[in-house]
Amino acid sequence: MTPTITYHEFQGQNDALRNPRSASERDRTKRACLLTLLTLLVPGGAQVTVGSRALGRIALAVTVACWFTILLGLAMYFTMRSVLLSALTQPFIMWTASLVLAALAIGWLLLWLDTFRLIRLGQLAPGLKPILVVAMVALMTLTSGGLGYASHIVNEGRQALAGIFSGGAAIPADEGRYNFLLLGADAGEGRQGLRPDSIHVVSVNQSTAETIIFSIPRNFQNAQFSEDSPMREVYPNGYNCGNECIINFLYTEVHNSYSHLYPEAEVPGVEAMMDAASGTLDLNLHGYVMVDMDGFSELIDAMGGITVESGGWVPYRGRHPETNQWGNRWFEPGTLELDGDDALSFARSREHSNDYARIQRQQCVQQAMIGQFSPQTLLTRFTEMMTAGENLVDTNLPQSQLGSLLSLAADAQDHSPQRLTLGAPDFGSSGELFSTYPDFELIHARVEELIAREGDGSEEPDSDTQDEPDTSDDQAAPEEVTEPPGPTPEHSDEAVAGDEPGEEPTPEPTELTQPDGSALTELYLIEAQQRGEVGLLEQAATGNGDCSPAE
């Protein structure tokens, strides 16, 4: 009896997708490319088409669920951003997300391997085989490898956030405001412990996200403590023991002598600084963020360094280029590639110059970090940057509130902040010594005035102010320069973050040469410094605030 073939069986035998053996070489090539694209764009599509339909249906369901989650996240970002960010920054959510991403990576890998089986490599043209294998391995690495790396990043981020933020409950606003203390702290060479030299209180309106920034000069004296502060036992009339009691020394004093007054505090010195800022401004503070400059240096190193264009000679302390002895160094004008330590030296330098030039360089370093930060940097150096971030920032803000605070910070960018400095020029001239003999009733009145001004459309322009110039060489080597007991304003460094110029800009530099007419060199300036030729050094440093991030 002659066997019969039904119509559907005949169609199946001639279907290139399901029966490639009977197809032409060209059709088999098309089939292989189609299955590869389906696995890339619609995971599970290849299995539904020619393979295990049960596996394919499961994969398609997961794919649809993933797209639904992404679209829901986008919708929530534009309508419920605070809720979304709060959820995404919770430890359990981040842990779950890392597991889900890892599972998706494994699942997609299995689909790729099954697709490789379905393609039937042995039936393809010899010249196509290596091309297809290389392409599939590359796509497998891009998709499954990318999801695996994303899982790693989320888990690293979860651990980093847990190391930076506290695990307490969310902090309620006080009279509709959040007030935070921001400190830029440094334990520089020749110093007695860590000093918070940049002291700001940021007050944010919970409803409108309008912001007021209060700057407290580092040499502010007679700071008042809040009514419930244990420091009132030691200083009932405020921090008022003369030049020994400028506010930036309070942290060290409490750490060394009065930590027992804050038995439950992880960082007693910061708690005392919060009490002082609270009593001085008559505001209840909710938390603090302290940026440590050593961690700042580590972050720059984690980014791979920064590049700036310097318009003048910048003195600093370092190793002699020839003898390797510790001493005076100079950054030359032009393009500078700076690692973390060099970036801090470049930003801090003020010898033979002034605070205005120094602040310009500080802002230049900040802009270079922002401008030269890229997704490639984040992806390739994520672990290093997270580690540096843990060393850079210390805070008592709860992680449970991170999302809402991030949303509030984003909204605050739509408003120009009001600013008030507790000293010149907002309270008289520098000669009136308001920072030394402050009028607290006047301070409280000005604080209330700025808060009342919110929302009336009369936001105060930025007040570009600075503390009194400091001409000390804060890059001195420990073995050569030591700090005398008791702090003075002249021995303080300001942190890189948050400074703004308040003096007239320096004039353009003049062209200087050596006596023989040749161009200046670093070695010549080092020798001139040893000879005490201060006039020449000041001319060389003129204009060193002319700085811009490299393109």
Q: What pLDDT, on a 0 to 100 scale, did the predictor assign at position 492?
A: 39
Sign of CA dihedral 541, 312, 348, 317: negative
Q: What pLDDT, on a 0 to 100 scale, did the predictor assign at position 477?
A: 34
Of 348, 356, 355, which is closest to residue 317 (Cα–Cα)? 348
**Residues making up the chain, counted from first to last:** 551
Q: What pLDDT, on a 0 to 100 scale, did the predictor assign at position 193?
A: 52
Q: What pLDDT, on a 0 to 100 scale, did the predictor assign at position 489?
A: 36
Distance CA 49, CA 34 (A): 10
Q: Cα–Cα–Cα angle for 252, 256, 260, nearest 5°?
A: 115
The encoded tokens of residue 84 equal 């979304």
Q: Cα–Cα–Cα angle for 89, 196, 255, nearest 5°?
A: 95
User: Which DSSP symbol is given to 353?
Assistant: S
Lookup result for tokens 């004039």: 507
**326 phi, psi to nearest 5 deg:** -70, 135
Q: Which is it for strands 287-292 and 177-186: parallel, antiparallel or unpaired?
A: parallel
The encoded tokens of residue 48 equal 């539904």
CATH for the 173-295+396-461 domain, from 1.20.120, 3.30.70, 3.30.420, 3.20.20: 3.30.420
- CA 335 to chain CA mean position, Å: 24
**549 phi, psi to nearest 5 deg:** -65, 140
List the pLDDT tens digit at each of the 551 positions of the chain.
Answer: 444 544 444 344 446 677 777 677 788 888 888 999 999 999 999 998 887 889 999 999 999 999 999 999 999 888 887 788 778 878 888 899 999 999 999 999 999 999 998 888 877 788 888 888 999 999 999 999 999 999 988 888 887 777 777 676 677 888 889 999 988 776 554 444 567 767 889 898 988 888 888 888 888 999 999 999 999 999 999 998 878 888 988 988 998 999 999 998 888 999 999 999 999 999 999 888 887 766 677 778 888 888 988 888 888 888 777 777 777 888 888 899 998 888 888 887 878 876 557 757 776 776 677 666 665 665 566 666 666 655 566 777 777 777 777 777 777 777 778 888 888 778 887 678 888 889 999 999 999 999 998 866 544 444 443 334 343 333 333 333 333 333 333 333 444 444 444 444 444 445 677 777 788 888 888 888 888 888 888 888 887 878 888 86
Q: What pLDDT, on a 0 to 100 scale, did the predictor assign at position 103?
A: 95
The encoded tokens of residue 6 equal 């039904």
**388 phi, psi to nearest 5 deg:** -65, -35
Which residues, other chains included, contact 296 with Cβ-Cβ below 8 Å and sequence gap of 6+?
Answer: 340, 344, 392, 495, 496, 497
Q: Cα–Cα–Cα angle for 313, 545, 305, nearest 5°?
A: 75
Which residues, other chains included, contact 72 with Cβ-Cβ below 8 Å and sequence gap of 6+?
Answer: none
* pTM beyond cutoff 0.85: no
Distance CA 548, CA 551 (A): 9
Pair 94, 155: CB distance under 8 Å: yes
Q: What pLDDT, on a 0 to 100 scale, did the predictor assign at position 385?
A: 64
Q: What is the 3-state secondary structure (H, E, C) of 46-75?
A: HHHHHCCHHHHHHHHHHHHHHHHHHHHHHH
Element (H, E) at 92: helix 91-119
Q: Which is it for strands 195-205 and 177-186: parallel, antiparallel or unpaired?
A: antiparallel
Lookup result for tokens 């790729």: 112
In 274-383, the DSSP E strands lie at 287-292, 306-310, 314-319, 326-331, 334-338
